[in-house]
Amino acid sequence: MLFNSFEFLVFFPIVFIIYWLLNNDLQKQNILLLVSSYIFYAWWDWRFLSLIIVSSFIDYTAGSKIFHAKTERQSKNWLLISLIANLGLLGFFKYYNFFADSFSTMMTGFGWQPNDLTLNIILPVGISFYTFQTLSYTIDIYRKQFEPTKNMVSFFTYIAFFPQLVAGPIERASNLLPQIEKKRILKKEWFNEGLIQILVGLFRKIVIADTIGAYVDTVYSDVGIYNSTTIVVATFLYAFQIYFDFAGYSDIAIGTAKLMGFKFNQNFNLPYFSISLTEFWRKWHMSLSFWLRDYLYISLGGNRKGIKITYRNLMLTMLLGGLWHGSSWNFVIWGGIHGLILSIEKFIKTYQTSYLWKKFSFLGYPITFGVVLFSWIFFRAQDLNSAMLAIKKICQFNFSAPFIGDINLIITSALVLSLGIGFDFFLFRKKIDLENLAARFSILKVAVLASVIIVLINLFYSTSNNFIYFQF
Amino acid sequence: MNPPILKHIIKSFLLILLISFVSDKLVFFLFNKISDQVYTGQSIGKVNHYLEIKDSLDFIVFGSSRANHNINPIKISENSFNMGMDGRKLAYSATLIKLLPDKKKQTVLLHIDPEYAFDTDYIGDDITALSPKYNRNTTIKNEIDKLGQNNILQRFYWSIGYNNAVLGIVKNYLQPNYDYKTYSGYDPIYVSDNQREIFENILNKGEKSKDCESQYTLNTIYNSYLDEIKIFCKTRNKTLILFTSPRLIDGCKDDNLKLKQILKDKNLEYYDFTDFLKENKNLDNWKDRGHLSDKGAELFTEEIKKLLK
């Protein structure tokens, strides 16, 4: 079920009303959340519910066993079981074909023609997200940072909770499970915040991202036929398409959870207003970047083992972070670019002392955006060949008039994008988080703002597409 | 949930419904007022223009961009109009045909593409381009409802009808593209150097071979609309002629032949011009594989004119 679908418009109010009617019985409320989350997921494909249930069961058991293990070895073994089971499922469904195909290509290079090893596998929606979520639970218990829950319903609800099930934010057990296990209350401020964030998220998704996505899709479906200007424009628009698409999804998820009395962590914080790539990653898909930092980068040694190992760890973390997004070399290269620039930034930060460097630090904003923009080419292109072709076409410096296509679409894209960037700029200048924007608004102000957004959505929404991050 | 928060939620919800309902109606009536004065542009102006002159026309062309850019109706009749529009298919055209006057003798030239006629996934969604008229024209409302293309929220929020048409309407209200009184609906394509370059790049990449299907089944919406407009035209003094525009490259002929047979069985007059200009390899006649340039359109119009004589 998509957040921007009519089904969800019916589904959510029903769940919301029953949920708050059951407010005096926590267990019943959690059972409702679990059942409704499974319905939400099954709406896409009920068969893959079994994966979530199996994954939940393994980690519920592993968490308990790790905690109660009498020896370090036992504890480690159960952690390994959790890692192998979760990463095994993820690896099979998401990466089997990628590795099989890469293996075939490599063998062909050596003159051996293996049979087609790929399988017809459907990628279960959200598997990358809930796998990381379940892993954080067992790893935190292993690190003795968290105690396992004894309540199976709570744990299963934590994994399947519908606002964040299919595309995050990747909520840690330490944040979400305690909220699931205690009585929730809905505060006025939360209701205001949640409602406005849902509407802003919808606007970002179905108005901005979907509108500008049409141009991007046209150009990136056949980059070879367009000039340099067109590809630069399409890449620029894609940078905002993916941001508004995913930030919009996160807004709806965070807002929906808030209406149910849950507080998720912030997932995007105006990432394009970043002076460095390091800062960008503190603001972009924060739940993933913090996950990678805490469970991968630090596990590899972080920056505790000398500068060379730090560079290696950064590269490995970003390469694997890239691969997490998709099973293609494009994503690996995308991660590699980010890893490389993060390492360079680390190097500069270590040695920067000059006055000039500090004086011109503001140049970090456009440079960071430029790096991010360049890397998006690999993220968006259909395959490695298309990405290289796009770069080649840009390097031809054929900056004549760009392809326009539907003029109405271009003008609408420019308008809605200006509204989106303008709103973000307002939040940036005022140092306000969207999550808290409407907290102190009066009822009238909330209603007026909500109505304005509704009217704008009605006038400018685009035909719905899947959220980009669903494919990951 | 405690009573104060429940009260807050109910009050907020009702207030949002009330304010959004009122503001929606204000926006709707404002855009009605503005759009009624717009007679240029594809958002609504061309439809308004058509609605204003439809009763006085002798000859009208309907269809997609392959009708709009390819036929200059003035070369055929002075009292004519080309109502072809980019991306429109049969649902849209048939609805506009049904708005023609009852007794006036008129010739309706309707473009039909085999590719879309046999597209089983076609659901008539091109009719949503008429949504601005949803709450204002019964025929249009009925057709949109019949195809299930109405947005259910539009019963409450009427301004949804203006979705994605607003900027075009405002632009044409403030600065009309052309003098509509001298406009025949025909939009010739003057190919720019950039377009020519893109087109040549496409051709140089080579034609992807289009496999013929083993079986062709007429889309049910096409089937019913063809029957409906046939009866409509027959009973209202209209001559209905269907045609298919030229293509530079057409890899499969089976669908053309099948469509020809189906239309013959339905007793509909049909002409397939897919291979018109096939012998003439001059790329100046083309904007792309499916659309003629202004030069190609002039040649094609002459051919249509001969046919109608």
B164 at interface of A, judged by CB pairs closer than 8 A: yes
In a domain, B6, yes or no: no
Closest residue by Cα to residue A155 from A45, A140, A167:
A140
Query: Cβ separation of A450 and B5 shorter than 8 Å?
Result: no
How far, in Å, CA of A274 to CA of A270, rounded?
8
CATH number at residue B262: 3.40.50.1110
Q: How far off is chain A from B70, nearest CA to CA, in Å?
A: 18
Quick one: average pLDDT of A419-436? 90
DSSP calls for B144-172: HHHTT-S-GGGGT-GGGGGTTTHHHHHHH
At A156, the pLDDT band (50, 70, 90 cuts) reads very high
CA–CA gap between residue A176 and residue B128 (Å, rounded):
43
Query: Are A120 and A35 contacting, i.e. CB atoms less than 8 angstroms apart?
Result: no
Spatial CB neighbours of B60, under 8 Å, sequence gap ≥ 6: B54, B73, B80, B81, B82, B83, B100, B106, B107, B108, B109
B30 close to A (CB below 8 A): no
In 3D space, the residue among B158, B165, B163 whose CA is nearest the CA of residue B135 turns out to be B158
Pick the residue with more confidence: A453 or A326?
A: A453
A113: pLDDT strictly greater than 70: yes
- Would you call A455 and B20 a contact, using CB atoms and an 8 Å cutoff? yes
Residue B216 · residue B254 · CB < 8 Å: yes
Distance (Å, rounded) from C-alpha A104 to C-alpha A90?
Answer: 21
Domain boundaries, position B105: 42-131+138-149+183-308
For residue A429, the surrounding DSSP H or E stretch is helix A407-430
B23 touches chain A (CB under 8 A): yes
- Enumerate the β-bridge partners of residue B59: B80, B107
What local confidence, expressed as pLDDT, does residue A104 receive?
A: 81
Token code pair at residue B266: 């339905």
Q: How far apart are CA B276 and CA B143, in angstroms?
A: 34
Domain for residue B31, yes or no? no
A343-352, B36-45, B267-276, range with the lowest pLDDT:
A343-352
Does B252 touch chain A if contact means CB atoms closer than 8 Å? Answer: no
Give the pLDDT mean for A421-429: 91
Q: Is this complex scored with an ipTM above 0.85?
A: no
Question: For all residues of chain A together, what is the average pLDDT?
Answer: 90
Which of A6, A440, A458 to mutate: most B Cβ within 10 Å? A458
Reported as a pLDDT band with limits 50, 70 and 90, residue A281 is very high
User: Chain B closest CA to A146's CA: distance in Å?
Assistant: 30
d(CA A272, CA A275) in angstroms, rounded, equals 9
Strand order in the sheet with B269-272: B80-82, B59-62, B106-111, B238-244, B269-272
From chain A, pick out residues whose CB is under 8 angstroms from the CB of B23: 451-452, 455
The answer to whether residue B214 neighbours chain A at the CB level (below 8 Å) is: no
CA dihedral sign of residues B14, B19, B25, B27: negative
Contact criterion met (CB < 8 Å) for B8 and A443: yes
pLDDT, average across residues A217-238: 92
pLDDT digits (tens, 9 = 90+) for A360-377: 778 889 999 999 999 999
What band does A121 get if pLDDT is binned at 50, 70 and 90?
confident
State the pLDDT confidence band at A115, using cuts at 50, 70 and 90. Answer: confident
- Across the interface, do B166 and A451 touch by the CB < 8 Å criterion? no
Most confident of A86-95, A191-200, B173-182: A191-200
Q: Does B37 touch chain A (CB under 8 A)?
A: no
Bridge-based pairing of strands B269-272 and B106-111 is unpaired
Query: Is the CB of B10 inside 8 Å of chain A's CB atoms?
Result: no
List the single best residue of B6, B14, B20 to mutate versus A (max A Cβ within 10 A).
B20
Q: Is there a domain that residue B13 lies in? A: no
pLDDT at A355: 66
- How much is the average pLDDT of B275-291? 82
Are residues A186 and B1, on separate chains, in Cβ contact within 8 Å?
A: yes
Q: Is B182 helix (H, G, I), strand (E, B) or coil?
A: helix
User: Distance between CA A213 and CA A235 in Å, rounded?
Assistant: 10
Q: Is the pLDDT of residue A439 over 90?
A: no
| Residue A338, pLDDT above cutoff 90 | yes
A454 contact B CB<8A: yes
Residues of chain B neighbouring A212 (CB-CB closer than 8 A): none
Q: Would strands B106-111 and B59-62 be described as parallel, antiparallel, or unpaired?
A: parallel
The answer to whether A56 and A132 have CB atoms below 8 angstroms apart is no
> Measured between alpha carbons, how far is B5 from B16 in angstroms, rounded to an integer?
16
Residue B12 lies in a domain: no
Q: Which of A185, A412, A451 minimises the CB distance to B20?
A: A451
pLDDT tens sequence across B43-92: 799 999 999 999 999 999 999 999 999 999 999 999 999 999 998 999 99
Token code pair at residue A279: 């800062």
pLDDT band at B14 (very low <50, low <70, confident <90, very high): very high
pLDDT > 60? residue B209: no
Task: Phi first, then psi: give them for residue B75, nearest 5 degrees.
Answer: -70, -15
- Comparing CA positions, the residue from A201, A220, A157, A226 lying closest to residue A15 is A157
**How far, CA to CA in Å, does B290 sit from each of A29, B64, B113, B275, B286?**
59, 11, 11, 11, 8
Interface contact flag, A224 B205, Cβ < 8 Å: yes
Helices (H), A203-285: 210-220, 228-259, 277-283
Whether residues A444 and B168 touch (CB distance < 8 A) is answered with no
- At B270, the pLDDT band (50, 70, 90 cuts) reads very high
Residue with tokens 């601005």: B132
Of A222, A225, A451, the CB nearest to B16: A451
Q: Which residue, chain included where needed, has tokens 């958002």? A: B43
The answer to whether the Cβ–Cβ distance between A458 and B163 falls below 8 Å is yes
Using a CB-CB distance cutoff of 8 angstroms, which residues of chain B are in contact with residue A227?
194, 197
Collect all residues of chain A within an 8 Å Cβ-Cβ radius of residue B9: 186, 191
Tokens, residue A205: 């998704």
Q: What are φ and ψ of residue B271, in 5° steps?
A: -130, 130
Find how far residue A42's CA is from the centre of its chain. Answer: 21
pLDDT of A196 over the 90 cut:
yes
The DSSP annotation for A352-417 comes to ---HHHHHTGGGHHHHHHHHHHHHHHHHHSSSHHHHHHHHHHHHTT--SPPP---HHHHHHHHHHH
Q: How confident is the model at residue A394 (pLDDT cuts 50, 70, 90)?
A: very high
Residue B201 at interface with chain A, using a CB cutoff of 8 Å: yes
Mean pLDDT of A201-212: 93
Q: Residue A304: pLDDT band by 50, 70, 90 thresholds?
A: confident
Q: Å from A395 to nearest chain B CA? A: 17
pLDDT greater at residue A47 or residue B50: B50
Q: Say what the pLDDT of residue A410 is.
A: 86
- Report yes or no: B288 at the A interface, CB cutoff 8 Å: no
Mean pLDDT of A417-440: 89
Averaged pLDDT, A458-463 = 87
- B16 CA to chain A: closest CA distance, Å? 5
Half-sphere exposure of B143 (CA within 13 A, CB side): 30
| Distance from C-alpha of A299 to C-alpha of B246, rounded to nearest angstrom | 65
Q: Which amino acid is at B230?
A: K
Q: Are B1 and A20 an interchain contact pair (Cβ–Cβ within 8 Å)?
A: yes
Is the model's pTM score more than 0.95? no
Q: Label residue A437 by pLDDT band (50, 70, 90).
A: confident
Active site members of A: 325
Chain B nearest-CA residue for A454: B20
> Measuring CA to CA, how many Å separate A53 from each of A27, A34, A41, A48, A50?
19, 11, 12, 9, 5
Task: Please say whether the dihedral angle defined by the alpha carbons of residues A44, A45, A48 and A52, taken in this order, is positive or negative.
Answer: positive
Domain assignments of chain A as residue spans, ordered by start: 6-184, 189-471
Say whether pLDDT at B252 is over 80. yes
Confidence (pLDDT) at B207? 60
Is residue A333 within 8 Å of A385, Cβ to Cβ? no
Q: Is the pLDDT of residue A319 over 70?
A: yes
Residue B243, strand partner residues: B111, B271
Q: Is A20 on the interface with B (CB under 8 A)?
A: yes
Q: Is residue B206 part of a domain?
A: yes
In the 8-state DSSP scheme, what is residue A4?
Answer: T
A6 and B CB contact within 8 Å: yes
Q: Classify burial at A304, counting beta carbons within 10 Å of its beta carbon; exposed 0-12, middle 13-18, buried 19 or more.
A: exposed
Domains contained in chain B, number: 1
Tell me the pLDDT band of B248, cut-offs 50, 70 and 90: confident
Contact flag A186-B43 (C-beta cutoff 8 Å): no
Nearest residue of A to residue B26 by CA position? A455
Stretch A388-413: mean pLDDT: 86
pLDDT classification of A307: cutoffs 50, 70, 90? confident
Higher pLDDT, A181 or B195: A181
A450 contacts B205? CB cut-off 8 A:
no
| Closest-approach residue (CA) in chain B for A227 | B198
Residue A472's pLDDT band (cuts 50, 70, 90) = low
Closest to B198 (Cβ–Cβ): which among A23, A185, A225? Answer: A225
Closest to A179 (Cα-Cα) out of A13, A30, A360, A387: A30
Distance CA A401, CA B149 (A): 37
Q: Smallest Cα–Cα separation from A145: which of A105, A121, A177, A168?
A: A177
Q: Is B148 on the interface with A (CB under 8 A)?
A: no
User: Residue A65: is its pLDDT beyond 60?
Assistant: yes
